[in-house]
């Protein structure tokens, strides 16, 4: 029973036991192996106290630390690069969204044009009730009174058209401030993302490791790496 051992180590110990069949001898054999100053590493950077197979590379105790540090650096760079990619994608996406919202804002600001048309129909309803056709209407505005041309299409009802124009005008007017607020919120997010990118991409500035992994976890979920700088030998 090798419960509590690292799976690969337990597998190696079981192979030794099956070969020699003598528990005391196997225990002494494994103790001698553990006392050996040599370590072994696989292509994924995992370190073992035994040479559990011929594919492992032998490293010295001095090299042990450099392998651990290199693994730490690889994890760090992997997380940083993914965050850079994520924030670049967000910036690109949000900039497109801002452009779309600005177009919506420009359309919403045209609410007064719809209201003007609705007022024009209302003030000349007695004429337009005649139905389809081209009409010369009187336009009452702050600039004075003038004549304007207006057409009614077949099937259009001036009263219903007026109601729809007023309703759409009110809806667009209400949306103006909402769209402005939304644009401001997204532009603030873009500023934040670009600021994060500046610190992540600048090689002279190395973000704190814990803060980096915390940020990664908040976006993508937990990242399975060791919490300390010390590499634990797999037993």
- What gap in Å lies between CA 202 and CA 3, rounded to an integer? 46
- Quick one: how far is CA 227 from the chain centroid? 24
Tell whether the model's pLDDT for residue 102 goes beyond 90: yes
Task: Give the span between the Cα atoms of 76 and 208, in whole angstroms.
Answer: 10
Collapsing DSSP to helix, strand or coil, 151 comes out as: strand
pLDDT higher for 207 or 38?
207
The pLDDT of 96-105, averaged and rounded, is 97
- Mean pLDDT value across residues 68-90: 82
pLDDT tier at 66, thresholds 50, 70, 90: low
Q: Do 83 and 213 contact (CB within 8 A), yes or no?
A: no
Share of the chain above pLDDT 70, in %: 72
Report yes or no: 165 and 115 within 8 Å, Cβ to Cβ: yes
Average pLDDT over residues 2-23: 65
Cα atoms in the Cβ-side hemisphere of radius 13 Å centred on 41: 17
pLDDT in tens, 42-59: 766 666 666 667 777 776
Helix 61-108 to helix 158-201 angle, to the nearest 10 degrees? Answer: 160
pLDDT cut 90: percent of the chain above it = 42
pLDDT recorded at residue 17 = 73
Instruction: Give φ, ψ of 21 to 5 degrees.
Output: 65, 5
Confidence (pLDDT) at 158:
92
Instruction: Please tell me the distance from the alpha carbon of residue 135 to that of residue 152, in angstroms, as a whole number.
Output: 8
Under the phi-then-psi rule, with left for phi > 0, alpha for psi from -120 to 50, and beta for the rest, what region is 204?
Answer: alpha
Q: Give me the mean pLDDT over the 102-129 stretch.
A: 94
What is residue 221's predicted lDDT score, i.e. its pLDDT?
A: 75
Task: Please give the Cα distance from 172 to 118 (Å, whole number).
Answer: 14
Higher-confidence residue: 174 or 65?
Answer: 174
Mean pLDDT of the chain: 80
To the question of pTM greater than 0.75 for the whole model, the response is no
Give the pairing of strands 47-48 and 57-59.
unpaired
Query: CB-based contacts of 226: which residues, under 8 Å, 6+ apart?
Result: 72, 232
pLDDT for the residue 208: 81
**What is the chain's percent helix, strand, coil content, to nearest 5?**
65, 10, 25
- Confirm if 105 and 221 have CB atoms less than 8 A apart: no
The CA dihedral of 55, 61, 65, 70, to the nearest 10 degrees, is -20
pLDDT of residue 18: 78
Mean pLDDT of 141-150: 86
pLDDT band at residue 112 under the 50/70/90 scheme = very high
């Amino acid at each position: 029973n090798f419960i509590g051992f690292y799976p690969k180590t337990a597998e190696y110990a079981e192979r030794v036991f099956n070969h020699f069949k003598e528990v005391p001898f196997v225990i002494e054999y494994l103790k001698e192996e553990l006392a050996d100053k040599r370590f072994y590493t696989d292509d994924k950077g995992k370190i073992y106290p035994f040479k559990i197979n011929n594919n492992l590379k032998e490293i010295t105790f001095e090299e042990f630390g450099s392998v651990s540090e290199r693994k730490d650096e690889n994890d760090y760079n992997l997380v940083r690069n993914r965050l850079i990619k994520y924030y670049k994608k967000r910036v690109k996406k949000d900039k497109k969204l801002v452009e779309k919202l600005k177009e919506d804002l420009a359309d919403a600001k045209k609410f007064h044009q719809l209201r003007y048309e609705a007022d024009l129909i209302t003030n000349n309803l007695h004429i337009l009730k005649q139905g389809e056709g081209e009409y010369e209407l009187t336009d009452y505005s702050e600039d004075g009174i003038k004549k304007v041309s207006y057409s009614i299409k077949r099937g259009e009802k001036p009263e219903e058209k007026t109601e729809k124009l007023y309703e759409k005008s009110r809806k667009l007017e209400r949306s103006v401030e909402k769209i402005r607020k939304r644009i401001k919120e997204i532009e603030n997010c873009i500023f934040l993302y670009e600021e994060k990118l500046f610190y992540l991409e600048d090689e002279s500035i190395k973000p704190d490791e814990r803060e980096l992994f915390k940020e990664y976890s908040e976006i993508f979920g937990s990242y399975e790496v060791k919490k300390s700088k010390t590499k634990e030998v797999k037993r």
